[in-house]
Structure 1
Amino acid sequence: MSSFNDSLNPISLQKPNGQPPNLPPMDEYNTVSPQLLEAPRFCKISWGARWLIMPLRIFKDYFGFWLVIGIVFLIVTFISIYIPVIEHIFGITSVIASAVITLICAAQFQNEDLDFSALWSKFKIHLLPLIILNVLFVVGVVIVLIPLIIFFGGVSLVSLIDIETIQYQNFPVQALVFSALVSLVLLVLLFMAMFFAPALIVMHDLGPKSAMKHSLKGCLANMLPAILYSLIILIALPIFLRLTLGFGIVVAIPWLMIASYVSYRDVWTDQPLSAA
């Protein structure tokens, strides 16, 4: 009499050609890593609010750790106000800091132990692309300012010829407004191109240019949840800081860092956090 197990046909994991299957990448804990989507997900508008709610899961479990990160960022910011060199260094390393925060968030959301040696191993192989990304950002800022540079350069040149042209009644206000709007639109697009880029580089091995293109697509596809996300921050953050006499900034900084990771997972991976 055949047993139940004998009646089941064995299932082979091999491909028809005898090759092993293409299994999704896994971490050291045999957890399937979030996979990059071919196109950005169009998130629900309500997810813009969840991007600020989901960080509670990590923040409450690692409160002391993220509080230290917030304090460090605050101290560096205050020092940079009085030491310009620190300000420039901090600006250059902001992309790198974003990548490090992404790796930390990824480890914690995957319930992994926070092994800094393992994080460093993952980070160092992406250091060069991150530096190139920062260079592209600096070049982008210069390009963004070109309309204003042309405007003020033209005004200065004309004023050398005829000083009366810089009088208030003859000042080219419309040209100034147009130049400012062009620069503002370009600046917003640049920040969109940078928003997800560090995470896409360290988590999915994208090149700097490809990461910026993906980031821009992701932001443009999710304008509505991004607007809700921004409005909540603009309304709630000043109230929170006033209630905490300004000390709440050490909580707000890491909270927003984690929120940016949540939005990346929702927009660009097959494992959105807000859908849970």
Structure 2
Amino acid sequence: MPHIKTPDGISLFYKDWGAATAKPVVFIHGWPLDADMWEYQMTPLARQGLRTIAYDRRGFGRSDQPLGAYDYDVFADDLKAVLDALDLQDTTLVGFSMGGGEIARYLSRHGGARVGRVALVSTVVPFLLKTPDHPDGVDRGVFDQMVGGLEEDRPQFLTDFGKLFFGAGLLGSPVSAGIMQWTLYMALQASPVATIDCVRAFSETDFRPDLAAFKVPTLIIHGTGDKTVPANITAAAAAAALPEATYLRYDNAPHGLFITDKDRLTEDLSRFIRS
């Protein structure tokens, strides 16, 4: 399996589909999944002639799982390591959920080198946590409960979380039992340490200062039915701060729209990448 070694010695698994000369698209996965979550976007876009690349964040999937640290400066440096190792140019970055944070911090920390455009899909950018200067945010107790559930019974917590993630309810689910099992398997491959520490990272990191570094075309996509990462405090706020960005609202779509709305997402990304 192909891996990239970071400057601090961490081995990152990646998949790379398409010709080396094709326009590159780098996909950054969400919590607590891995690169495989992008199957329904990477495959058709690669068949359209793009070069689609995705990697497992440190601590997740097939990448190394060190004890620490799991913060966005480290994650942004790992993204830089991927772009540098593959010598990518004019890259489109696509980040889902906590993966949008990598994009925001990379743009500010590394000046947007090698990047031509970015897409934020159901992301935590610009800020999730409720604070005195962010009163509409999510109460810290919600994340404390997540950490407590993971520490007490990680498999059961992630099983229950998957239902919220995809908008499943008593009357049915927009995804199959197979999809639920597949994504649970992905989640359980992650390091318990990374899984817990990343809850703190994506909930407590304030990306509002990083928004000034968004100097490339930006696409924002979010479901109005997202109960995991509310659009009103994330996508809407990012769109307001980035007036030249394109903001696409997916009516009633849950957080996991990379599955529930996979064809629409792929089409919108394809159109944006080629525009």
Same fold (TM over 0.5): no
Larger relative contact order, structure 1 or 2 (CA cutoff 8 Å, min sep 6): 1
Bigger Rg, structure 1 or 2: 1
- Higher helix content, 1 or 2: 1
- Higher strand content, 1 or 2: 2
- Sort the TM-score into its range (normalised by shorter chain): under 0.3
Relative to the length of structure 2, the TM-score reads 0.24
Relative to the length of structure 1, the TM-score reads 0.24
